[in-house]
Amino acid sequence: MNKILKYFIIIIVSIIFLSSFSIIFDNHTAYAEPEFTIPRLSLNIDEAQEPEEIASSIEILVLLTILTIAPSILIMMTSFTRIIIILSFLRRALSTQTTPPNQVLIGLAMFLTFFIMAPTFDNINENAIKPYTSGEISFEEATENGVKPLREFMFKQTRQKDLALFINTIGVERPKTLEDVPTRALIPAFIISELKTGFGIGFLLFIPFIVVDMVVASTLMSMGMMMLPPVMISLPFKILLFIMIDGWNLIIKHILLGFN
């Protein structure tokens, strides 16, 4: 009994010792830690003292809005739509499933878009962005000067039938000049014109590869190999044909010439 009591006293003393040691260690660590001040953030809305302050705030809001819809502008108001449709049809015609992957096709379409739109972007930079940042023109003039090059580009690629569709829909008088055409009618007309052009080129891309599929399918049927998928056999021949004619060079060449 005395032996058990002795062991119990030893355990109690050990627990008290360890507890006091941990408290001393924690206090030492706490004092060793540097103190950091947490900054306080606040948002203040004050009354504008001058009309220029309100105009500047509105301009900043408009610029942020433009940055938000910049991807849509890049896709819908440039050559990107036609290019990505043609490249997608080409991949389907080759029956390569996900090769090239979407990232490669989108990257190629973006760089081709920047190449084709470079003169337009340079015009916008010289006549709108630089004069506005230097304070030579107002925000309204910069917006008008920036839209003009895009309108000129879209007019060259838009069919009159598509443009007439939207002009008649909004109920305005028949424009006498290109400057009278509203931008809200020009943009959707340009988009559907690009879609039709892209689908037309995609149809032409399918023709030679369909011929290869038909020849391979007929050959397999004549040999009695009806259970063998023709696509699996025709795929190497289509890739070989595309390489022999330097297909990528021809496709990109005709895309660039189509916008000139």
pLDDT at position 11 is 58
SS3 call for 136? coil
- pLDDT value at 174 more than 70: yes
What is the band of 236 on the pLDDT scale with cuts at 50, 70, 90? confident
> For the segment 29-48, what is each residue's pLDDT rounded down to a tens digit?
444 445 556 665 554 555 55
pLDDT at position 84 is 93
What is the band of 98 on the pLDDT scale with cuts at 50, 70, 90? confident
- pLDDT value at 201 more than 80: yes
∠ CA 18-23-24, nearest 5°, is 100
Whether 113 contacts 79, CB under 8 Å:
yes
**Token duo for residue 78:** 């440039």
What mean pLDDT is predicted for residues 170-198?
86
Name the phi and psi angles at 135, rounded to 5.
Answer: 85, 15
Which CA distances in Å does 172 have to 167, 193, 209?
6, 21, 46
pLDDT at position 131 is 85
pLDDT at position 220 is 79
> For the segment 148-162, what is each residue's pLDDT rounded down to a tens digit?
888 899 999 999 898
Which CA distances in Å does 47 have to 44, 50, 54, 61, 194?
10, 9, 9, 17, 48
The closest of 186, 158, 159 to 172, measured between CA atoms, is 186
Distance (Å, rounded) from C-alpha 217 to C-alpha 234? 8
Distance (Å, rounded) from C-alpha 62 to C-alpha 140? 11
What mean pLDDT is predicted for residues 3-27?
51
The H-or-E segment that residue 185 falls in is: helix 183-222
The burial class, CB within 10 Å (0-12 / 13-18 / 19+), for 181 is buried
Question: DSSP code of 135?
Answer: T
> For the segment 61-85, what is each residue's pLDDT rounded down to a tens digit?
777 777 777 777 778 888 999 999 9
pLDDT at position 86 is 94
Lowest average pLDDT, out of 47-51, 203-207, 250-254, goes to: 47-51
- pLDDT value at 103 more than 80: yes
pLDDT at position 36 is 54
Does pTM surpass 0.75?
Answer: no
